Amino acid sequence: MATESRKKKFLKDIGIYAIGNFGSKLITFLMVPLYTYYVSDISDFGYYDVCLSAVLFLLPFVTLQLRDGAFRFLVNAEDDKERQKLVLSVVYKSLAAMLAMSMLLVAAVSLFFHVKYIWFSFGLMCAMGLLEVVSQVARGLGDTKAFVASGILASFGVGIFSILFVVVLKLGVVGIFIANILARLVAILYIELKVGIIRKYLSGGVYGDKKALFREMLKYSLPLIFVTMYWWLTNCSDRFFIAHYVGLEGNGIYSVAVRFTAILQTFGVIFYQAWQDSAYRQYNSPDRNSFFSSVFNSYIFVMAIVLLLYTFGLKVVYTWLVDDQYQASLEYIYPLGISALLYTMVQFTNIIYQCAFDTQRTVPQMVVMSIVNIVLNFSFVKWLGIYGVITASIITYLILLLYRFFDIKRYLKLELRVTTIVPVAIAAFGFIPFYYDTMVWIDILVVVVSIVVMLLALPKQYREILTSKFHRKF
């Protein structure tokens, strides 16, 4: 495939995934003010976030990371329907067995211990796990629109059901659980009606060696559990540290800040999904070094601009978006933004291991970095509070990113251009005006000057491309 053709397809994929992710994240964004106004007990909201963190931790074990395995193996079986049927048969039967075992374990725990919201948490875990796998199956079968539409539908469902159960029926945190479960079930039903996975691929005979394929998929998917565990440890376990050392109220404050900075990670998710499609198919191309490097450097540049625009823009309107008792969360927005930026850069390197079918190599990395993150949390949270968990995440991401940059040379040479250091430096030092100026016009000036400097630092050919496109538009 020609370079221009690849770029056009990649940009088209980004557009499709952007529509889905922004549509869904917009609803998530709007839910933050709603929840902060209608869940008046900060401690209860903080406990819900602990439950959600526990669900996210257990999810990869319950699903065996079959969402990743399903997508990767379906992409390889793109023109072979019998192979697709075999992959789907293995995925669905394995998922059903794991969910049944999980239900028995939850029932046993609930008999001997009283765990608040345990069955609601289990229901949310099932709904999340099913939607993740089913949506990735639709994507692997080539129905990107169904994948995107299901995400939008699930998010709109959360919004509608939240209004019903949280605002109208005033069920508080229970209403949040119910809204999230029902919305995902509706999205799963939509995918089945649209794609017909069970009807088209799981009815009738399925031929092939299921045991051999299951072992092959586990070899690919199981190492990704450690990857997911690492993301959980760096993104979610901090709630437990905050709850223990700072208190549930501090956890509620932190949870609000995280929900706002999750919008930044949405940009990373959009790129990640589009890049997965292109990277899997282009990994064996002769010019992969230059192609991957070009995308990587462009990605860093765009994400640095997004970080500045979003954090400073949010600072201006924050008092209108969040109830007074949650206003303290604003001070954590920028460092969390830096953490989100580093997270998206590390995610880029994950795909390279997946391209090479060498996910096993990430396991020792994840084990070591998880230990590092826990040690840093214990060291920092006691005396830095909420800032401690953010600092621990930033340091952990930096260490992993530096190691990965050298390790992936066994697969391809990823070049970090000197000009890319400029936007990274501006983003890193942007916290100074974010914290120390109080006037809106200064915030606007900082953002404008920073973006101009970044544009001037671009290589000449990229500036010429931007200039020519600007002239054509105006």
The pLDDT of residue 43 is 76
Most confidently predicted of 161-170, 200-209, 274-283: 161-170
What's the rounded Cα separation, in Å, for the pair 447 and 430? 9
Where along the chain do its domains lie? 39-236, 270-474
Name residue 35's amino acid: Y
Asked whether residue 185 carries a pLDDT value surpassing 90, the answer given is yes
What's the rounded Cα separation, in Å, for the pair 307 and 416? 20
The pLDDT of residue 191 is 94
Contact 280, 353 (CB under 8 A): no
pLDDT, greater one: 278 or 91:
91
Question: What confidence tier does 407 reach under pLDDT thresholds 50, 70, 90?
Answer: very high
The pLDDT of residue 183 is 93
- The tokens for 294 are 């070009």
What's the rounded Cα separation, in Å, for the pair 462 and 459? 6
Asked whether residue 385 carries a pLDDT value surpassing 80, the answer given is yes
Q: What's this model's pTM, rounded to 2 decimal places?
A: 0.71
pLDDT in tens, 94-136: 999 999 999 999 999 988 888 888 999 999 999 999 998 999 8
What's the rounded Cα separation, in Å, for the pair 97 and 103? 10
pLDDT, greater one: 57 or 30:
57
Helix residue ranges per DSSP H, 113-201: 118-140, 144-162, 173-195, 197-201
Asked whether residue 377 carries a pLDDT value surpassing 80, the answer given is yes
pLDDT, greater one: 97 or 24:
97
DSSP string, 210-266: HHHHHHHHHHHHHHHHHHHHHHHHHHTTHHHHHHHHT-HHHHHHHHHHHHHHHHHHH
Question: What confidence tier does 250 reach under pLDDT thresholds 50, 70, 90?
Answer: confident
Contact 253, 42 (CB under 8 A): yes
Share of the chain above pLDDT 90, in %: 14
Contact 342, 397 (CB under 8 A): yes
| Mean pLDDT across the chain | 80
Share of the chain above pLDDT 70, in %: 83
Best CA proximity match to 72, nearest among 446, 472, 354: 354
Residue indicated by tokens 């450097």? 297
What's the rounded Cα separation, in Å, for the pair 121 and 54? 8
The pLDDT of residue 421 is 79
pLDDT, greater one: 441 or 288:
288
Average pLDDT over residues 436-454: 70
Comparing 162-166, 303-307, 424-428, which segment has the lowest mean pLDDT?
Answer: 424-428
Average pLDDT over residues 239-261: 81
Contact 71, 140 (CB under 8 A): yes
H/E stretch holding 74 reads: helix 66-76
Residue indicated by tokens 């509706």? 186
Asked whether residue 7 carries a pLDDT value surpassing 60, the answer given is no
- What sign does the CA torsion over 97, 98, 99, 100 have? positive
The pLDDT of residue 471 is 47
pLDDT in tens, 189-247: 999 999 888 888 777 666 677 888 888 888 888 888 877 776 666 666 777 788 778 88
- The tokens for 195 are 């794609």
Best CA proximity match to 340, nearest among 272, 292, 403: 272
The pLDDT of residue 105 is 94
> Please, is 430 exposed, middle or buried when counting C-beta atoms within 10 Å of its C-beta (0-12, 13-18, 19+)?
buried
DSSP string, 379-415: HHHHHHTHHHHHHHHHHHHHHHHHHHHHHGGGT----
pLDDT, greater one: 471 or 414:
414
Centre a 10 Å sphere on the Cβ of residue 100 and count the other Cβ atoms it contains: 9
What's the rounded Cα separation, in Å, for the pair 43 and 250? 8
Q: 3-state SS of 331-343? A: HHHHHHHHHHHHH
Q: What is the largest CA-CA distance in the chain?
A: 70
pLDDT, greater one: 415 or 419:
415
- The tokens for 57 are 């931790």
The pLDDT of residue 341 is 86
The pLDDT of residue 74 is 84
The pLDDT of residue 1 is 45
The pLDDT of residue 463 is 54
Average pLDDT over residues 323-349: 84
Helix, strand, coil: what percent of the chain each, to 5?
A: 85, 0, 15
